[in-house]
């Protein structure tokens, strides 16, 4: 089970298509000799939650066994992310964005609507649409598995993160992590925190001048880029949705035509049936176009929205650090002037300075890294997108051509 390297951004999302082996399209970056391979070998979808089986293979000495699995739920992944996020030691790094919550609401809603409309369509139509919805549900499921997996593998590949204690606990600890979802108080706290953070961010952005042009530029770029890519993601989603609707409407067209054929009788029946059949096949192709667009385009965009967000967080932390550093400097000056607590102030200032420089260096690395990652991921996915679109369009054209050729001449 080749690890999905985070460079790929969004790897081929349907791992279980190939019986659990992921197509190892990884540009293997060789990490050190000690390996830590993490993947999600299985997943179970219950009523409201999904249970992921996290499987680890490692040669690192810290771990008790070379190979083991645990069962985790989504909340535990979020817990893990938060631990990284809060850790000041990692302030200079881009924390891999957490996987989104598994969301089957849309599918469930559609299934329900279908059930309600059951009376108004033929059995054939109904079963076809049900199949479609089930396939959709399955695709969503596979996607969420992949996203959780990418999160873990990024952590596992990161030279610093992989050694994190919480990560080890997450991978190894066989019991439930007892991560209860935040109760109301904590949720409100969380809200406050993020609110504060954003106001602080804005304040800093307005008041704090950056000493480094590079970061100044990066900040501006990231902000702009973040907006643009977010917008593109939403539009891409709408587009794939519309595509899916077109594909689905072929179902009714196809079955409507079949029924017409029965009524029309021998003169048109063969003709109509061929056409109905073609529509059915065309629908499958259109459906695939839609899902491929979703995978290659929307998901790539979406991932980089989130990664971009994480980068923004990094910049914010750095800026805050800078503010603190400058504050510490002022404090030191005041202390010296008053000749009180000079040593403490000096210490504080030194800390702040170190921190700041550490963050700045790290941040530079991370940002360049992000850029490279982004370009590679886009390139790969755009090429794949184009090739798939081409393949499907050719398939459809061929389908229609052979249908036209085979239509019985009157």
Partner 1 sequence: MRLYLIVSASPSLCPGDNPQATHLPRAWAPLARPPPHGSRLTADLFSTNPGALKSPVSEQTTTPEDQRSPEDPLTPPPPAASLTPEPHNPGTPPDLFESVAEGPVVVQGGSPKLSSVPLDLPAGGNGGEGKQQPTFFPTPLQEVSLEEEGDEPDIFDTMSSPKLQLNQAEGDGGDEFIQITVSDPQKIGDGMSSYMAYKVTTKTNVSYFRKKHWSVMRRFSDFLGLHRKLVEKHLHSGRVIPPAPEKSAIGTTKIKLGSDKNADSGSLDFIERRRAALERYMNRTSTHPTLRADPDFREFVELDAELPRATQTSALSSAGVLRLLNRVGETVNKMTFKMDESDQWFEERTQQIESLDAQLRKLHASMERLVNYRRELALSTAAFAKATAVLSSVEEHSSLSRALHQLSESTERTQTIHHAQADADFYVLSENTKDYIQLISAVKDVFHERVKTFQTWQHAQITLAKKREAKAKAELAGRMDKVQQAQEEVTEWEGKVERSQEEFERISRAIKKEMEQFDVMRVKDFRDMVIKYLEDLMTSQQQIIKVWETFIPEAKAIS
Binding-site ranges for partner 1 (CB under 8 A): 221, 224-225, 228-229, 231-232, 234-236, 238-239, 241-243, 245-246, 249-250, 252-253, 256-257, 259-260, 263-265, 267-268, 271, 275, 278, 282, 371, 374-375, 378-379, 382-383, 385-387, 389-390, 393-394, 396-397, 400-401, 403-404, 407, 410
Query: Dihedral, CA atoms, 81, 82, 85, 86, nearest 10 degrees?
Result: -150
Q: 391: phi > 0 → left, psi -120 to 50 → alpha, else beta; which? A: alpha
Query: How many Å apart are CA 142 and CA 122, to the nearest integer?
Result: 30
Query: How many Å apart are CA 147 and CA 149, to the nearest integer?
Result: 5
Our CB check for partner 1 shows the closer of 131 and 249 to be 249
Which 8-state DSSP code applies to residue 208?
P
CB of 342: closest distance to partner 1 in angstroms? 45
Q: Which two structure tokens, joined as six digits, stand for 410?
A: 């009157």
Bridge partner residues of 36 (DSSP): 58
Our CB check for partner 1 shows the closer of 348 and 367 to be 367
Answer yes or no: are the C-beta atoms of 54 and 69 closer than 8 Å.
Answer: yes
Our CB check for partner 1 shows the closer of 71 and 268 to be 268
CB of 228: closest distance to partner 1 in angstroms? 4
Q: Which two structure tokens, joined as six digits, stand for 346?
A: 């000096």
The DSSP bridge pattern shows strands 67-73 and 36-45 to be unpaired
Answer yes or no: are the C-beta atoms of 257 and 225 closer than 8 Å.
Answer: no
CB of 234: closest distance to partner 1 in angstroms? 8
Our CB check for partner 1 shows the closer of 140 and 300 to be 300
Our CB check for partner 1 shows the closer of 278 and 349 to be 278
CB atoms within 10 A of CB 62: 11
CB of 298: closest distance to partner 1 in angstroms? 10
CB of 365: closest distance to partner 1 in angstroms? 17
CB of 355: closest distance to partner 1 in angstroms? 28
Q: At what angle do helices 299-338 and 213-264 cross, to 10 degrees?
A: 160
The DSSP bridge pattern shows strands 36-45 and 50-58 to be antiparallel
CB of 264: closest distance to partner 1 in angstroms? 7
CB of 281: closest distance to partner 1 in angstroms? 12
CB of 115: closest distance to partner 1 in angstroms? 19
Our CB check for partner 1 shows the closer of 156 and 272 to be 272
Our CB check for partner 1 shows the closer of 76 and 366 to be 366
Our CB check for partner 1 shows the closer of 17 and 387 to be 387
Our CB check for partner 1 shows the closer of 139 and 400 to be 400
Angle (nearest 5°) at CA 36 between 31 and 38: 125
Return phi, psi of residue 23, to 5°: -65, 115
Secondary structure of residue 60 in the 3-state scheme: coil
Query: Dihedral, CA atoms, 199, 201, 202, 208, nearest 10 degrees?
Result: 130
Secondary structure of residue 62 in the 3-state scheme: coil
């Amino acid at each position: 089970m080749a690890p999905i390297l985070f460079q790929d951004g969004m790897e081929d999302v349907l791992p279980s298509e190939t019986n659990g082996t992921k197509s190892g399209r990884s540009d293997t970056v060789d990490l050190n000799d000690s390996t830590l391979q993490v993947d999600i070998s299985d997943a179970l979808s219950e009523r409201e939650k999904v249970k992921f089986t996290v499987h680890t293979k490692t040669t690192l000495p810290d771990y008790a066994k070379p190979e083991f699995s645990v069962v985790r739920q989504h909340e535990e992944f979020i817990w893990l992310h938060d631990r990284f996020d809060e850790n000041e030691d990692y302030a200079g790094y881009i924390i891999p964005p957490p996987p989104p919550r598994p969301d089957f609401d849309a599918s469930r809603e559609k299934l329900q609507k279908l059930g309600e409309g059951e009376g108004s369509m033929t059995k054939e139509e109904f079963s076809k649409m049900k199949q479609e919805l089930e396939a959709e549900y399955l695709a969503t499921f596979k996607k969420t598995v992949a996203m959780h997996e990418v999160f873990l593998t990024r952590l596992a590949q990161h030279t610093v993160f992989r050694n994190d204690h919480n990560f080890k606990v997450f991978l190894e600890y066989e019991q439930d992590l007892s991560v209860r979802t935040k109760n109301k108080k904590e949720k409100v706290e969380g809200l406050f925190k993020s609110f504060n953070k954003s106001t602080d961010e804005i304040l800093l952005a307005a008041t704090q001048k950056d000493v480094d042009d590079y970061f100044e530029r990066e900040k501006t770029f990231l902000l702009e880029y973040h907006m643009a890519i977010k917008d593109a993601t939403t539009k891409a989603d709408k587009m794939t949705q519309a595509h899916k609707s077109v594909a689905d409407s072929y179902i009714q067209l196809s079955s409507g035509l079949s029924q017409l054929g029965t009524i029309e009788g021998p003169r048109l029946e063969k003709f109509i049936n061929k056409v109905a059949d073609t529509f059915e096949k065309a629908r499958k192709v259109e459906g695939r176009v839609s899902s491929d667009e979703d995978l290659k385009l929307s998901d790539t965009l979406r991932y980089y929205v989130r990664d971009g967000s994480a980068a923004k967080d990094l910049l914010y932390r750095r800026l805050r650090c800078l503010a603190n550093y400058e504050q510490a400097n002022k404090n030191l000056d005041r202390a010296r002037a008053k000749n009180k607590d000079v040593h403490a102030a000096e210490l504080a200032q030194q800390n702040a300075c170190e921190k700041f420089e550490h963050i700045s260096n790290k941040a530079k690395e991370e940002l360049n890294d992000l850029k490279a990652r982004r370009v590679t991921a886009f390139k790969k996915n755009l090429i794949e997108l184009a090739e798939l679109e081409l393949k499907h369009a050719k398939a459809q054209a061929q389908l229609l051509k052979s249908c036209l050729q085979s239509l019985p001449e009157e």
